[in-house]
Structure 1
Amino acid sequence: MSTSESPAEAAPDRGVPAVELTGITKRFPGVVANSDVNLTVARGEVHALCGENGAGKSTLMKILYGMQQPDEGSIAINGEPVKLRNPQDAIKAGIGMVHQHFMLADNLTVGENVFLGAENLHGIGRAARARLAKLAERTGLRAAPDTLLEELGVADRQRVEIVKVLYRGAKIIILDEPTAVLVPQEVDALFDTVRAMQAEDYTFLFISHKLDEVRAIADTVTVIRRGTTVGTADPKTITSRQLAEMMVGSELPSPETRESTVTDRDVLRLKDIRLSVEGSERNILDDISLTVHAGEVLGIAGVEGNGQTELVETIMGMRKATGGTIELVEHDGVAHDLTKLGTLARREAGIGYIAEDRTRHSLLLTQPLWTNRILGYQSRKPVSNGQLLDIAAVREDTRRIVEEYDVRTPGIDVPAAALSGGNQQKLIVGRELSGEPVLLVASHPTRGVDVGAQALIWEQIRQARADGLAVVLVSADLDELIGLSDTIRVMLRGRLVSSADPATVTPQELGSAMTGAGAEESEKDTDAEGGATE
């Protein structure tokens, strides 16, 4: 073994499974998360794990990564029984996990993010940088070690996460929803990396709700339903529809919206909105102008980091525009200038808000569901009765949301953290569509939710749109964006650079526009034509 390899990189017997989970059971108060789960992953394969939110996938992966311990069952890695009491034990066993929400520090460099906590492996000097360079080449990471992480796009951040787990000696890599924030071209690049590493005997556990992608990359698919394994399938012979039926017992939903409900009544008007960076001449948002009408879903497409988050937060008053105006037109036609108002005043004017990060901006995880119903509505009925909160009405309305939006929970007194991601999201959507809003700002409304919850959220947005709601939709799921939107605007480097017709545009064409490739090609064509005529 070379000095640059960790003990976990020693080659195991090829015929022995890389991972073998047998009879895994995990109970929490009032719920069995995993019940007699069995999973065998061959060495060097990409093994996909599919299931609804709350099916037990995340719990199972947390057990494999040492974040939780099973109540029953056993784990073997490369044929050797192991006890994984914490992530450090899992890392020593050669297991790495790339989380859906990256575990990286924006204010540190690429190298510092990789080396932090692993200084005892190769130090922080020449040997460490040589190891980093070798892994960067292997994964396609082109960013220099001294580059600040905040300067990287989402695809390169993900590569840093992968390099980080490889640096610690991982040969078995858990990828949790790895394509959730990538455009099609970036997904292709990720899959190329995975296949290249597969050829070097790396093993992948791939967790995803995107069944077409599962079928494209996986060698084997295991489906979990209600905490237990229901079957294993060959992705080359099973259809996405059949996989969906295994997962949820129903057909794969489609976001497609067929009939137009767009009216000529303005609801949201943004004119020349600018947002500058303090101490810099660069604008995060640069002269953004748009109008959203009643009954219209306006989709905003863009690679993460191009201003979509800042646009949403400026509309909601979480950031103050440094130029331009924001107007909201109520049902009665009265226009309100929101430009200088705070977030609560904007919500009181009739804006519902589905935040891109539900755990940071939409929920109090330790509080019961009925308390979460109050958030953003503390000054309005049914939450408020004059100057006091009406707790009885809040509890009653929370029960209504739970029933109407199929929020699967033992009751309204359980903390929000006890719900799966999909059920948390359904609670949020139910809350934000209550109170007859005139505008819904929806940022990644189905990120990380299963096909069943996805279908319900899509249907609720479609129904509200048909009832005259105006919607600003930001999504990294291009099928969702194309399927739900009446109009699509593409954002690049803080500007709205083009429009697309959802009826004709393909995800690939939209992806090209989002990365600027379409504009570059147009410039090349123009240059070529100019050269030909000279």
Structure 2
Amino acid sequence: MKLELRGITKRFGALTANDHIDLVVTPGEIHCLLGENGAGKSTLMNVLYGLYQADEGEILLDDEVQHFSGPGDAMRAGIGMVHQHFMLVPVFTVAENVMLGHESTKAGGRLDLDAARARVREISDRFGFDVDPDARIEDLPVGVQQRVEIIKALSRNAGVLVFDEPTAVLTPQETDELIGIMKQLRDSGTAIVFITHKLREVREVADRITVIRLGQVVGEAEPTASNAELASLMVGRAVELTVDKTPARPGADALVLDDVHVYDLNGVPVVDGVSLTVRAGEILAIAGVQGNGQTELTEAIFGLQPQVTGRIVLDGEELTGRTVRQVLDAGAGFVPEDRQHDGLVPEFTIAENLMLDRADGEPFVRLGALRLKDLAAFAQERLRRFDIRAQGIGTRVGRLSGGNQQKVVLARELSRELRLFVAAQPTRGLDVGSIEFVHEQIVATRDAGVPVIVVSTELDEVVALADRIAVMYRGRVVGVVPADTPRDVLGLMMAGEAPQAVAA
């Protein structure tokens, strides 16, 4: 099935998310839609899938104009979508999820689960998916759940299949398996749209590449294009893609975690006996698929988790049981993984956000009065030094791009004398130009002798920044390995394999 988008335009108030976008995807082709978060890729696909209505333009399938009022229309026309966040019911079986919304019945009105099971087996056997139709979704690994999403789409005879950032929750091995599946689907005649911002994956799987920047198509490229060429198309300028850092010169043990447990509201351990040491002047990167306890571990360090046992010690000073304010006052800086909810107050100005962790005293408050001139001078200097693109320090942070919001968080956290710096998902959603800047700041902090923890689900980022790598799986540290550990070994560790077993 041939897909054609002609002049698709989608506006949200004054914002034009898609600006007269043209795209053609032919049967038996993997067409990669490349661009950073916020470029307009997902908006375009939501228009295609009937979730949004275009303000201008038209969608054609096999040269016939389509009119979709919702996803049901798109599915009936032969369009399937594999979402980044799976649309599955955890307590249902594979077969029940596949037939959901397209139920068939036997005589007497009973659901025909046998037909659904047969359909799952037929598709699974055809593509080598190895999926049990009677398995419950909540019992399946993430990579297998994604196969169920693909089976759902194929069971409805999708001729066009859209993969929206499909590798965000996968280990490297699962990513390789998905790429193999996509190639199988292409070879069977399916037209595939692959949405991503990961250059390595693009070059591995794409037959054609279209680059979107700020809602517009800015160019097309062949898979033979270099990472540097693709990055410059995405950002609009040349970008340094490698992290420029000298070997670490680690000092004494600075942060010590000893048998740390974090419990959820039901008393279940989400961090299960973690012991780690971070030395002054080194970057310890914590790798792992999202949801394996990394978030809770960083929050425990900063007093954000209510149920914590074990010991957290910084330079011999006990942090366990302290409030967030006390941890910050001890010299710890924190970039949380969700900058908009946990790192910033969107309705506050840039200047106000820059003083959030020092709003109760010097240098910005004296005798209960805010020293506006001192704050303004400080904010102007941070604006300049961190290249925060805004009209001025009075701009509300919620109006800034994701990259500039992250720069505000970094500017605030790195403006104090630090004894510890923790950055969780520091470049999530940023363009490659902003990533370059953030990495430079993290390395500079390490080089100043500060112990640094970086938590990232992006394996390329982990490998580029780390002096040592700790891998977490289901709340435990599987192992701590050197930064030059091969990617395939790290991938197996992310799936729960101990490094000794991997080496064997």
In structure 1, which of residues 77, 80, 89 is the aligned counterpart of residue 64 of structure 2?
80
In structure 2, which of residues 469, 480, 501 is the aligned counterpart of residue 499 of structure 1?
480
Q: SS at the partner of 1:246?
A: helix
Alignment match, 1:272: 259
Aligned equivalents of 2:102, 2:28: Cα separation in 1: 28
Q: For 1:402-432, what per-residue CA distance to the aligned partner results, in whole angstroms no more than 9, with x for missing partners?
A: 5544445566777766555444434433343
Alignment match, 2:136: 147
Q: SS at the partner of 1:511?
A: helix
Kept in 2: contact 1:462–1:484 (CA 8 A): yes
For the structure 1 residues 401 and 110, does the alpha-carbon distance in structure 2 shift closer, same or farther, using more than 3 Å as the test?
farther
In structure 2, which of residues 165, 182, 202 is the aligned counterpart of residue 177 of structure 1?
165
Structure 1 gaps, min length 5: 1-11, 13-17, 330-334, 526-534
Matched, 1:440 2:421: yes
1:180, CA displacement in angstroms? 2.8
Q: For 1:93-137, what per-residue CA distance to the aligned partner results, in whole angstroms no more than 9, with x for missing partners?
A: 33333333445565x345498359615467573333443444555
1:215, CA displacement in angstroms? 0.9
Alignment match, 1:201: 189
Q: Which stretch shifts more, 184-193 or 72-81?
A: 72-81
Q: Which stretch shifts more, 30-39 or 407-416?
A: 407-416
Q: SS at the partner of 1:81?
A: strand
Structure 2 gaps, min length 5: 106-110
1:374, CA displacement in angstroms? 6.5
In structure 1, which of residues 239, 245, 248 is the aligned counterpart of residue 235 of structure 2?
248
Alignment match, 2:447: 466
Q: For 1:331-386, what per-residue CA distance to the aligned partner results, in whole angstroms no more than 9, with x for missing partners?
A: xxxx4322112334333433333333445544566777667656666546677666
Residues 119-518 of structure 1 correspond to what in structure 2 (within 5 A)?
119-120=102-103, 123=111, 125-137=113-125, 138=127, 140=129, 142=131, 145-149=134-138, 151-167=139-155, 169-235=157-223, 237-275=224-262, 283-320=269-306, 322-329=308-315, 335-358=316-339, 361-363=342-344, 379=360, 403-408=384-389, 419-502=400-483, 504-515=484-495, 516=497, 518=499
Kept in 2: contact 1:115–1:124 (CA 8 A): no
TM-score (structure 2 length as normaliser): 0.84
TM-score (structure 1 length as normaliser): 0.80
Amino acid at match of 1:342: T
Matched, 1:67 2:51: yes
Matched, 1:93 2:77: yes
Kept in 1: contact 2:334–2:421 (CA 8 A): yes
For the structure 1 residues 45 and 121, does the alpha-carbon distance in structure 2 shift closer, same or farther, using more than 3 Å as the test?
farther
Kept in 2: contact 1:177–1:448 (CA 8 A): no
Kept in 2: contact 1:47–1:222 (CA 8 A): yes
Kept in 1: contact 2:117–2:133 (CA 8 A): no
Q: Which stretch shifts more, 176-185 or 151-160?
A: 151-160
Amino acid at match of 2:234: M
Q: Which stretch shifts more, 115-124 or 185-194?
A: 115-124
In structure 2, which of residues 31, 36, 42 is the aligned counterpart of residue 47 of structure 1?
31
Aligned equivalents of 1:284, 1:479: Cα separation in 2: 26
Aligned equivalents of 2:369, 2:140: Cα separation in 1: 47
Alignment match, 2:108: none
Q: Which stretch shifts more, 379-388 or 486-495?
A: 379-388
Alignment match, 1:36: 20
Kept in 1: contact 2:131–2:148 (CA 8 A): no
How many residues are matched?
Answer: 497
Q: SS at the partner of 2:442?
A: helix
Amino acid at match of 2:261: R
Aligned equivalents of 2:476, 2:453: Cα separation in 1: 16
Aligned equivalents of 1:95, 1:474: Cα separation in 2: 36
1:283, CA displacement in angstroms? 4.8
Percent identical among aligned pairs is 40
Aligned equivalents of 2:203, 2:258: Cα separation in 1: 44
Q: SS at the partner of 2:314?
A: strand
Q: Which stretch shifts more, 283-292 or 404-413?
A: 404-413
Kept in 2: contact 1:20–1:76 (CA 8 A): yes
Alignment match, 1:4: none
Q: SS at the partner of 1:290?
A: strand
Amino acid at match of 2:101: A
Q: SS at the partner of 1:76?
A: strand
Kept in 2: contact 1:50–1:209 (CA 8 A): yes
Q: Which stretch shifts more, 169-178 or 135-144?
A: 135-144
